[in-house]
Structure formats: C-alpha cells, structure tokens
Amino acid sequence: MSEEAAYDPNWWQVPKALSLARKARQPAPAALAKPGDAFLIVTEGEVTEPVYFELLRCDLDLLVVRIKVQPGDATDPRRVILTAERLAKEQQRKAKKGLLGINEPSRFDHVWAVVDTDVAVRNHIWNDVQQLAAARKVKLAHSTPCFEFWLLLHIAGFTTRADLVDGTAAKSAIKHALGRDYSTNKETAEVAIASFLSKWPEAVGHAEKVRLYHECAQTSKPANPSTEVDRLARALNDSALEHRRKL
C-alpha cells in the first residue's frame, strides 16, 4: 500500500471499483434476434412441429402476425427449404403491392426450416440439403434422427442414448416416455406437448450439453442423437419482450 493510500480510509474500494468497471465493459452474449423480429418457420412435419412452435410462440407471447409457422410442401428437407424461400419472397412481393395486413411484417428477419436428418442421411443427400439451405439463406433447425429427440430432451432430460437409430425408434421413445400417443392429430399433439412445453429452457441446456458431448467424442456429423432446434428456440426467446423471456 502506498503512503497516499495509507491516509485514505477507502483505499480498498479503488481496486474493487476497477474490477467492476472491467466486468461492465465485457460484452454480453450475442443475441440471436432483436425484440419484435419477424420469423418464418417452415416445418417438415404437418402436426407435431407446427403445434410445438405455436405453443412456444404463446409461451413467449410473440405476436402471431410476427411469426408464421407452416408445414412445407413435402417431407423432403430440400422441399421444406424451397418452401421457406418461396414464402419469404411472397411476403416481400405482397408488401410491395400493399396486400399485407396492418401489423404484418414487410419481410421476415429470420427464415428457418425445421427438418429431420435420418432419411436424408440414409439417402446420402444431407450435404445437398445443407448447401441448398446456405444458398437460399434459410437457417436449419435440424434434429438427428428427427424432431422427437428435441422433445425427448424436455421429458427425459440430458441423454445421448444410442438406440435412437431412426425416426421410428425416436417416436417410439416419446410414446413410451409419455405413456400415450402424442401426434395422431392436432388435438392430441396440443394436449401432449402442453404437458411438458414449460421445460423448453431446460431442453435448450440439454441440447447444448449433447452438442458438447459429441464435440468431445469427435462424432461425425450429423451426430446421432443431436438437435439444433435449441438455436431456434433461443432466437425466438431473444425476440420476445424482456419480461417474457425465459433464458
């Protein structure tokens, strides 16, 4: 301690203040979206995925006109990507012609395709799917083997179970975990998914942990099981008003 500091009864507060100032200058984690951003989400499935994202939209209190969830034209991931691109361009064309509603966005800030990898990997087209998405500026929220693994992370917690070899096995795991069907129709899906939707913030953490597990194990991509849907969930969370965010 210097001679000057010896006469200052508050000398110990100086380094503490400097430390707090340094911490304050550290950048916060980059947000994946801004409050009020408009999303277009096109899904491969016609029931489970649209119902899930509609319930998530309600949980975050996102305006329905700012987020549009719609099944793709076909179950092939490439068709889902092309559907997303088409709908995004249609939104801009409608805006130019003055055909949109008062609160409808003139363009979507984020365009996502929610797809499964199991069939694409078996058919050796997964690289084509990724390249097409990049070329058409569509973000992929993909799951391996399928979207049900993302749901399983809500129900069972962190898992890297090796028996989820394909979509059929993953769907069977969900039915077993819930003790009932979950996707026969929209009404069934709404009841089933609503029973565990509140755990989606925990599922985000589990998905990140699964990704780290595969990185450490140097698993070839797309790693089975794994999911990138958590990135979309985070982006939607970031677009919500601050008091509605869960992350």
Q: Please compute the mean of the pLDDT values over residues 231-237 and round it to a whole number.
A: 98
Least confident segment among 71-85, 102-116, 208-222:
71-85
CATH placement of domain 39-244: 3.40.50
Q: Which pLDDT band holds residue 24 (cuts at 50, 70, 90)?
A: low
Give 46-62 pLDDT, tens digit per residue: 999 999 999 999 999 99
Res 172 pLDDT > 80: yes
pLDDT, residue 2, reads 45
**What is the residue extent of each domain of the chain?**
39-244
Question: Looking at the predicted structure, is the pLDDT value of residue 140 above 90?
Answer: yes
Give me the phi and psi of 164, to 5 degrees please. -85, 65
**Cα→Cα distances 228→89, 116, 141, 176, 224, Å:** 25, 10, 5, 23, 12
pLDDT at residue 1 in the model: 45
